[in-house]
Structure 1
Amino acid sequence: MNFQHTEDRRMLADTLNRFISEQYGFQTRDRIAASAQGFSAELWHRFAELGIIGALFDEANGGFGGDGFDIAVVFECLGRGLVVEPFLDTLIVGQAIAKSGNEMQKALLGELIDGSRIVALAHGEPDSHYEPARVTTRAERHGNAWHLSGAKAVVQHGENASLFLVSARTAGADDEEEGVTLFLVPRDAAGVGVRGYRKIDGGRAAEVTFDNVSLDDGALLGLSGEGYATLEYAIARGVLALCAEAVGAMDVAKEHTLEYLRTRKQFGVPIGSFQALQHRMADLLLEIEQARSAVINAAAALGAARTVRERALSAAKYSIGRIGTLVAEECIQLHGGIGMTWELPLAHYAKRLVMIDHQLGDEDHHLERFVALGRESFR
């Protein structure tokens, strides 16, 4: 298999890396991440103008990419810059709409791609423990309307979203795949409550509640009770995106650590000349390359059959969780005390690597899922 990127993808990566380097330096990123909004609307529109959002969708839906490697290229670059703009939820919600939306709903994709509409995935719940089928938010049919009630946790950019993709249960037990239904819920609908807060790794998220929110059939995304397959399909793209983002962040953490080992002196010589530190750094470089290989495998499998795709994605997310934590710990330890300081970019990369492990399923969850999917494939 040829793992070389196409010329178009190399140009996309060069363009995005150059833009982030010139316009999204660490001081700028730190200011944006700590702001009341949690992202920059101006830079979000500039990303859109560069075609970065469009690269996440295929031509049939108004973009010019959408392949697993397109997603990986974009998010690896975003990881290098610790970009906090709402790329992840735009990808997940947009892919769900592209897969199961009607013509009116698919018309929203143009607004996502040009950056004029912010959307958010409202799926995780306080007690779901990463299980994608565990949905306790309820939607009940009353006459010609659906009445939606429940709570969603850690909704990325929830304060700024004008539209939520909400998972709700219309039938079945709380942990069954059958009976999960997807709704597109406007932020300003009566009964929607949003409480925002800062995230530890920068940017903002929110707790979102739905108190007897009335929705018509136009809010349904796909068929009632059959939303799980769409949700899994869209979240698969999000898992790949997070894994690629982590690889980008690892590369920068590695580069900063290598530079520190070359310049920091002790006993009159660079500490990088100490054999013990060389061995630790060599082991770390091998682990990062293993993580990169896992992401390549997941990107290649994104269009495969469900079990093959999901196993590759869980393998990658498990590897990223384990290696990301290792990179964060080792790079800080190799820096010494300065590695913990807020002013040093490395500390922020370490935080982001640790938090990526907790998005869309952590290391333990995906190890269990990988094993369970393997059992399914042998039945």
Structure 2
Amino acid sequence: MNIDYKALADKYGTPLYMYDFDYIENRYTTLKDAFAGKKSLINYAVKANSNLSVIAHLAKLGAGADCVSIGEVKRALTAGVDKYKIIFSGVGKRDDEIREALEQDILLLNLESEAEMKRVEMVAKELGKEARISIRVNPNIDPQTHPYISTGLHENKFGVEIDMAKRMYIYANKSEFLNPVGIHFHIGSQLTKIEPIRESCMIVADLVRSLKAIKIDIKFFDVGGGIGVVYDDEVTIPAEVYTQAIFEATKGLDVTLLCEPGRYMVANAGAFFTKVLYEKVNDGKRFVIVDGAMNDLIRPSLYNAYHKIEAVLKEGEKTPADVVGPVCESGDFFGKNVPLPPLEHNDLIVVHSAGAYGFTMASNYNTRAKAAEVALQGGKDRLIRQRETYEDQVRLELEYLEK
């Protein structure tokens, strides 16, 4: 990306998130083309980056939405995603959320337990509606990724095992208020090896064959998301290799193939800008203190995640430095022992690959305002979320303040 980082930082201030919409479009097109010749739907995982303009951009390209809260369902609808392209997933759904999803008539609800299925049936009965559902199957395949983003093993909280899934499908198929139209699995995030995906596809496809044999007509085969991206030196899975594994597993099945990419679409479309406040040295240990913090981008602190960090328009001998923010936590850092040239007040630092799980995981910890967000498209920049103010933060509290 040939981007004038300094001009953007000067125009919009820091901390700042920037997303390259042309890059996002290219990623969507690449993946969609890899599904050519097959019935398919790409459901963007809203949790990765839930800015309305990001969702709307993908919706215009034809994407659906994978949502894990009723708030994300509302965001998708607000951004213009077709209701029949929206999936509502997640381990815990309240009755009012189930009710609203059914009233919105979205494509389906993805269920993760027998207890949840019974709640959905009850709410559907109250509404006099038939709930289209899929069931998240846990194939018990090691995704070979970070344990915090592994989701397909029995030790994880997600999905149900094969035998339980069969019982749930048989129950749902007999129910007047449930219509089991889909099957789903998702073994983890930031996957860089095809074999776990291939194995999971084969296991779940065999389950679909056994369900079809007893007249349970599964129409949607949802392989989840999790395709890895490059943060450092990862070797990632080409889109054609990914889809070919899915094609092989589902050969002979008349199903629409669904996938739920999030990070794949937006991670490397985004960058986080932060300005240097000052440097300090403690007994030979160098710190670069910046105006961004863990409340803006928590991945390094939460996962010890690596992000490439560079100083913009600065020369000089590079020495190791911890890039840290103003939050009162030892975990408030973007990188440790990062080679950087000497830096001064107001010098600009860019944290790369920040388009996924960046702003969407931001908080107001330490009463810090959330950053602004900017889109780049066709060589032009535009604001897509204004910088939060103190007044925005306290708005819901002020009227209850006793004086």
Same fold (TM > 0.5)? no
Higher helix share: 1
Q: Quick one: higher RCO (CA 8 Å, sep 6+), 1 or 2?
A: 2
TM-score by length of 1: 0.27
Higher strand share: 2
